[in-house]
Structure 1
Amino acid sequence: MNRWVDAARPRTLPLAVGSILLGNFLAYASGKFDFLIALLATLTTLLLQILSNFANDLGDYSNGVDNADRKVALRAVQTGKISQQEMRTAVIGTAVLSFVSGISLLFFGLKNATLEVWGTFLGLGVAAIAAAIAYTVGKRPYGYMGLGDISVFLFFGLIGTLGTYYLQTYHLDVAIFLPASGCGLLSVAVLNLNNLRDIDNDIKTGKNSIPVRIGKTFGFYYQKALYIAAIACFYAYPFVAGIKIGVNQQLLIVGIYPIIGLFRELHSGMNSEQIDPYLKKTALRTLFLIIVFGIIQILTSQ
């Protein structure tokens, strides 16, 4: 069982539920919240993240990216702990579980929705499953073309947050695009750190991530730009939403400060071993920021 737990990459899971948690916080602050919908949305997202991790493990090994030159964050198929066939079976099984969980979420969340809304959410769900697999699996994985950042921003930012909010409230507020974007940008920051850590091996194997395309130094500039843009999105929300800036909103600095710490600590001279711990740090601090932000919005709405 330990090998499968490791392959699921537990340290990526807190970030996976960030957008779902954010959407639920905002819905609760607006006076609409259903615990079952929140639970099913969280379960579906966790399954999608695990699916993505399994598929990434399989795809990177099959495409020669996870080879003997990879020394940090070794993968299950690469090390032989899990065979390729076992991982293929796990990918298929997790995809099926994700679909079943997603359908259950839509059944309870869209009881009174039109067919058009049902079709939209069903399409997004299928797209999420396809995106999780196609990132590194197949003849032309989009992750090898530097398109992973866009996918992560959409699914772990906009779609996760706005979709959850809509399932809870049956409407969307333009202002929510700001914190949703902030969440997406911080999710991209985790992916970019992953790519910065693996840049040397990715260059050798032809995986053209953003850092490979722009170089390690500019990859770190990009990393810091993601932090700044995300912070700006969270800070701008109350102004756009028409929320009075009182003591509650000023407490956002409690959640922002740890992100600023990451900005100060990261630099282009770091090697793969030094970069690796910052994936977990960024994921956990993003989750902390979302919790602080969400509690503030609930307190302000009282």
Structure 2
Amino acid sequence: MSKTKAWIHAFRLRTLPLSLSSIILGSLVAASDNKFSSDIFILAILTTLFLQILSNLANDLGDSISGADNNERIGPERAIQSGIISKKEMKNMLYVFIMLSLVSGSFLIYKAAQVITLQQALIIFAIGILAILAAINYTIGKNPYGYMGFGDLFVFIFFGLVGTLGSYFLHTGYLQWDILLPAASIGLLSTGVLNLNNLRDIENDSQTGKKTLVVKIGSKAAKNYHLIILALAMLFAILYSLLNYASIYQFIYLLTFPLILRNIKIVLTNKNPRDLDPELKILALSCFFFSLSFGLGTLL
């Protein structure tokens, strides 16, 4: 593998559609309220992509330092683990994406200045800094929260609530309480992807001291947890549509539910953690298509 391909591999492109789900949904719901800016949408997409890649690179570095990346790990080989990219090179690339995230995020806030106040802009900027820190500290630092079982909570907050509510707010300049429902749906589906990842890696994580929520509660409880969070994700979406009913087209996202239900069944009946690896991509894409169809449904 060439170094260029190794870097592309390190960016983990298959995770990017999941990170965009909240931005797409929040932006399309804002468009249904006749509040949409193409500049804000593009900059929000760019900022989110930079943050996701930053998180992926930090995860590669952190798991390499801790020893979680080893020959026993299930899933694609990591960049540092392969030996093609050094830890120093990875650290330098982290700085690059921190700067890209800051620059893109700053332009995003500047463009939103037409509909938000200076105080609100400062709050959004602070949240952006927290997002950068969260991306890095998942597996890096003295007490990485991903190694203490808090990864699920942070994914729910940043992939769901912050991404959806934040993008909606930047377009509109205001928030409505019921947007919490689809925001929670995206957050729970994203958390389901992380739970799948941790179910797949439960044996290696437990041996290397990576105390994910799955390691803490055990495989059986984690499977029931998976059922609950994905069921709630579907329930919250339906509740929002009922509260804001205007057309039957709002329910086109129901077409994605068979994929989600299939995922639940596979997880509940799984015997070999290795078999869960392909389900990560399928659930991530299910979340992406859910956000797209949900958002488009509000426009029809």
Q: Which bracket does the TM-score occupy, shorter chain normalised?
A: over 0.9
Residue from 120, 124, 130 that aligns with 1:117: 120
One-letter amino acid of the counterpart of residue 81, structure 2: Q
How many angstroms does 1:247 deviate by?
Answer: 2.4
In 2, Cα distance between equivalents of 1:247 and 1:37: 29
Residue from 187, 190, 193 that aligns with 2:190: 187
Residue from 22, 27, 30 that aligns with 1:27: 30
The match for 1:12 is 15
Residue from 232, 235, 238 that aligns with 2:238: 235
* RMSD (CA atoms): 1.3
In 1, Cα distance between equivalents of 2:250 and 2:100: 39
Identity of aligned residues (%): 43
Q: TM-score of the superposition, structure 2-length normalised?
A: 0.96
Per the alignment, do residues 231 and 4 of structure 1 end up closer, same or farther by CA in structure 2, a change over 3 Å counting? same
**Long gaps (5+) in structure 1:** none
In 2, Cα distance between equivalents of 1:120 and 1:240: 30
| Counterpart contact for 1:216–1:268, Cα < 8 Å | no
The match for 1:90 is 93
Residue from 69, 72, 88 that aligns with 2:72: 69
SS of 1:276's equivalent? helix
One-letter amino acid of the counterpart of residue 222, structure 1: Y
**Long gaps (5+) in structure 2:** none
| Counterpart contact for 2:74–2:200, Cα < 8 Å | no
The match for 1:154 is 157
- Residues 82-231 of structure 1 correspond to what in structure 2 (within 5 A)? 82-231=85-234
Per the alignment, do residues 74 and 272 of structure 1 end up closer, same or farther by CA in structure 2, a change over 3 Å counting? farther
Equivalences, count:
297
In 2, Cα distance between equivalents of 1:69 and 1:259: 29
Q: TM-score of the superposition, structure 1-length normalised?
A: 0.95
Residue from 44, 47, 50 that aligns with 2:47: 44
Per the alignment, do residues 294 and 71 of structure 1 end up closer, same or farther by CA in structure 2, a change over 3 Å counting? closer
How many angstroms does 1:63 deviate by?
Answer: 1.1
One-letter amino acid of the counterpart of residue 136, structure 1: T
The match for 1:289 is 290
Q: Which runs of 4+ in 1 moved over 3 A?
A: 249-252
SS of 1:146's equivalent? coil
SS of 1:17's equivalent? helix
The match for 1:56 is 59
* Per-residue Cα deviation, 1:218-276 (whole angstroms, up to 9, x for no partner): 111111111101000110002333x24x4223433212222112122223533232111
| Counterpart contact for 1:44–1:101, Cα < 8 Å | yes
